Chain A
C-alpha cells in the first residue's frame, strides 16, 4: 500500500468501514509511515472533537406537531402510545443518534414484548432497560474518562468485585467512562464505550452460577446483547450497533483480558 491509498483508506479505518484485510494493510502501512501515522492521529483527534461537540439539532416542537397534525389520526391513543414511559423514552432518545435501532419493528417489539419467565431473559431485559436509562442526559457515566487506570480504581469500595477495564481505543472502541448500575437487584459495574456515535454499555457482575455458556448474542427490544462469562464474572455488552460489531467488541475485550503469557 502506498501513501496515496492510505490517505483515503485511513478515513475508512477511523470510520470502522474497512474489512479485516484492508484494516491490517492500512495499519501495517501506518506503522511504518510517520506521515500517515501523523495524519491518522490528527484525523482521529478531529473526529473526536466533532463527536464531542453537540452538532445535532433538536427539531422544534412546533415542527413535530405540524407533522403530527398532518398525519391521519391513529386508531386509538392506547395503540399509539401504550404507556407514558414510551413517550418519554422517545423524547430522550430523540436527542441521540440511534442508528437503525429505533425502527417500527423495535417500537412494535416494545409494545408486545412478552417477558419470558426465565432468569436469563429477565436479566437480558434488565440489561437493556439499564442501557436505555443510561442514555438519558447526564446518566451515562459516573466517572468520565478515557483512561482505564482511572476507571478501574473508581469502582473500589463501591462494589464487591473489581471489574476489568480494557483499553480498546486502538480497535475503534473508545472508553468513555464507568457507572454504578443495578442488575437483577444487585449492584453491577457498567463500563461505557463508544463506537462512532453509538454507546456500548458493558455490564459486569459476579457470575451467578447458573451454568456457563459460551458467548451468546441475542436481540432484546431491538438492541443487541452479547453475553459471556470469563474469570468468574458475567459480562453483558449492550448496544444498537450491529451484531457483528458487537461480537467484535466482545472478542476484543475478551482477548484484552487474557494475560499475554498465558499464566493467570
Chain B
C-alpha cells in the first residue's frame, strides 16, 4: 500500500503542508468558475490530484498561483469536454474570450458623472461578480478574493501582465456599471 513507502509518505506530507492551506482559495475560485458547488468540489479534488502528481516538478516559490493555474486548467478542460459532448451550453462561455479584449490604453467607458457607490449586501456583490463574463470574472476573483499580485494572475491565466491590467480595468468598469444599475433598481 502506498502509505508504506517512507519517501512517498514524506512527499505526501510536504504536499499536504504546502497545498492544503489553499483549499479555501481553490474552492472559492472553482465556485466562481464552475458556478455550482458540486462541480466546484469535483474540480478542486481533481486539481489536488493533478497537483500531487506533478508536485515533483514544482519548483516554487509560490504555491498558490501554481495550484490555481492547475485548477483553472481543470475547469477549462471540463468546459471543453462538455462543449464537445454538447451536454451543456451554460458554461460554453468559459472559453478564453479574446474578442472582447480592450487594447491596453483604450479608454474604458466613463459614466457621465461620478456616482457614489451605495453599499450592497454580500449576496448582491457575489452575484454581480458571478455575472461578469468569464475572462473578466476570473481576474476579479483572483485579484479581489484570492488576493494575487498582477504577476501571479498573469501566471495563472497565462497572459502578459499588461493584459491582466487592461482586463482588470475593464472588469471593474463592468462591475461598477452593473453595481449602479443594481442601485437604481433598489431605491
Interface positions of A (Cβ within 8 A of B):
3-5, 7-9, 11-12, 15, 17, 35, 38-39, 41-43, 45-47, 49-51, 53-60, 63-64, 66-68, 70-75, 79-80, 90, 93-95, 97-100, 102-104, 107-108, 196-198
Within 8 A of A (CB), among B9-67: 9-18, 20-28, 31, 37, 41, 44-45, 48-49, 52, 60-64
Asked if B99 is at the interface (CB within 8 A of a chain A CB), the reply is no
**Which 3 pairs, one residue from A and one from B, show the smallest C-beta to C-beta distance?**
A38-B114, A73-B3, A59-B27
Interface contact tally, CB-CB below 8 A: 167
Query: Given that A46-B175, A57-B31 are known contacts, is A63 also in contact with B45, CB under 8 Å in the complex?
Result: yes
- Measured between alpha carbons, how far is A4 from B166 in the docked complex, in Å? 11
Q: Does B172 contact A (CB under 8 A)?
A: yes
Shortest distance from the beta carbon of A261 to any chain B beta carbon, whole Å:
35
With A11-B168, A15-B143, A53-B125: A97-B25 Cβ-Cβ less than 8 Å: yes
Residues in chain B near residue A103, CB distance under 8 A: 18, 21, 60-61, 63
Report whether B108 and A7 are in contact in the complex, using a CB–CB cutoff of 8 Å.
Answer: yes
Residue of B nearest to A102 (CB): B21
A196 to B64, CA, bound (A): 17
* Closest chain B residue to A62, Cβ basis: B41
14 pairs, CB–CB < 8 Å, chain A vs chain B: A4-B106, A17-B149, A38-B114, A59-B27, A60-B41, A63-B45, A66-B45, A71-B12, A73-B3, A74-B16, A75-B9, A103-B61, A103-B63, A104-B63
Q: Is the CB of A72 within 8 A of B63?
A: no
Contact across chains for A59 and B107 when beta carbons are under 8 A apart: no
* C-alpha gap A260/B49 in the complex (Å): 58
A41 to B176, CA, bound (A): 12
Contact between A53 and B13, CB atoms less than 8 A apart: no
Instruction: Establish whether residues B115 and A42, one from each chain, have CB atoms under 8 Å apart when the complex forms.
Output: yes
Across the interface, name the chain B residue whose C-beta is closest to A71: B12
B116 close to A (CB within 8 Å): yes
CB <8 Å contact, A49 and B13 = no
Residue in chain B with minimal CB distance to A198: B147
**Which residue of B61, B110, B175 has the most chain A CB atoms within 10 A of its CB atom?**
B110
The verdict on B2 contacting chain A, using a C-beta distance below 8 Å, is yes
What chain B residues lie within 8 Å of A197 (beta carbons)?
Answer: 147
Q: Contact check, A75 vs B13: say whether CB atoms are below 8 A apart.
A: yes
| B binding-site residues for A, Cβ under 8 Å | 2-3, 5-6, 8-18, 20-28, 31, 37, 41, 44-45, 48-49, 52, 60-64, 104-108, 110, 114-117, 119-122, 125-126, 129, 143-147, 149-150, 165-166, 168-169, 172, 175-176, 179
A57 touches B27 (CB 8 A): yes
* Inter-subunit contact B122/A54 (CB<8 Å): yes
Question: In the complex, what's the smallest C-beta–C-beta distance from A71 to chain B, in angstroms?
Answer: 5
Q: How close is A148's CB to chain B, nearest CB, in angstroms?
A: 22
Contact A46 B176 (CB under 8 A): yes
Further pairs besides A8-B165, A55-B145, A94-B21: 16, Cβ < 8 Å: A5-B105, A7-B107, A11-B165, A38-B114, A49-B117, A56-B28, A68-B20, A71-B12, A71-B52, A72-B8, A73-B9, A75-B10, A90-B20, A93-B21, A95-B24, A103-B61
